A = this chain, B = another copy of it.
Amino acid sequence: MSDAPDAKPVGAGRQLLFLREEELRLAQDLLFFGYRDFTAGPDAILAELGMGRAHHRVLHFVGRRPGITVGELLAILGITKQSLGRVLTPLVEEGYVTQQPGRNDRRQRLLSLTEKGEALERRLFERQREWVMQAYREAGPVAVEGFRRVMRGLMGPEARAQLDRASGGAPGSASGGAPGGKRSAA
């Protein structure tokens, strides 16, 4: 079930210089439905706690880079300080995230997850892990690698740079090849 039969229908390698209309329509649908259902699991958990997707994003990125500054987090999320505040402040007050002054620059508030925060992040994480694992298993390893390459291509240059930074400085690890991304900026 992993590999496509001889069907070879839509022809991924047809004539990529001109993206046929139906091919893009399909991509639009896939991204809309796929992203929606991908986030549905965590959303349900968060709703019980009176939180939303924005809280998850903060937990996710703070968990990935403990000690991140508020400014860095703002840059990653691409939102304003005020928008972040409305999500971050409650997370701190309810004991999911801690702030400690930076050692070099004491104006900074370095953010980290508390045990409580890590526990919640992990709970959300596990929910998504199962979902993604299922999709990966159905699709097979080759498809997974392709998925990563395409998704990376859909990202703007800034997001790519952030991703590389967040991934711990192994830039090409996800894209395999295709380094040339000279995207014209979103």
Contacts and interface: CB of A to CB of B under 8 A. Distances in A.
Contact of A178 (B34, B60, B138, B167): B138
A98 interface: no
Contact of A173 (B10, B17, B156): B10
A24 to B, nearest CB: 5
A164 to B, nearest CB: 10
A148 B12 contact: yes
A149 B138 contact: yes
Given A65-B2, A143-B145, A152 B9 contact: no
Contacts of A89: none
A49 interface: no
A119 to B, nearest CB: 15
Given A9-B176, A155-B37, A32 B3 contact: no
Of listed A33, A57, A131, A186, residue having the most chain B CB within 10 A: A33
Interface residues of A, number: 89
B30 A155 contact: yes
A13 interface: yes
Of listed A16, A140, A149, residue having the most chain B CB within 10 A: A149
A139 B153 contact: yes
A13 B173 contact: no
8 contacts: A12-B148, A24-B133, A30-B152, A33-B160, A36-B159, A134-B183, A139-B146, A140-B178
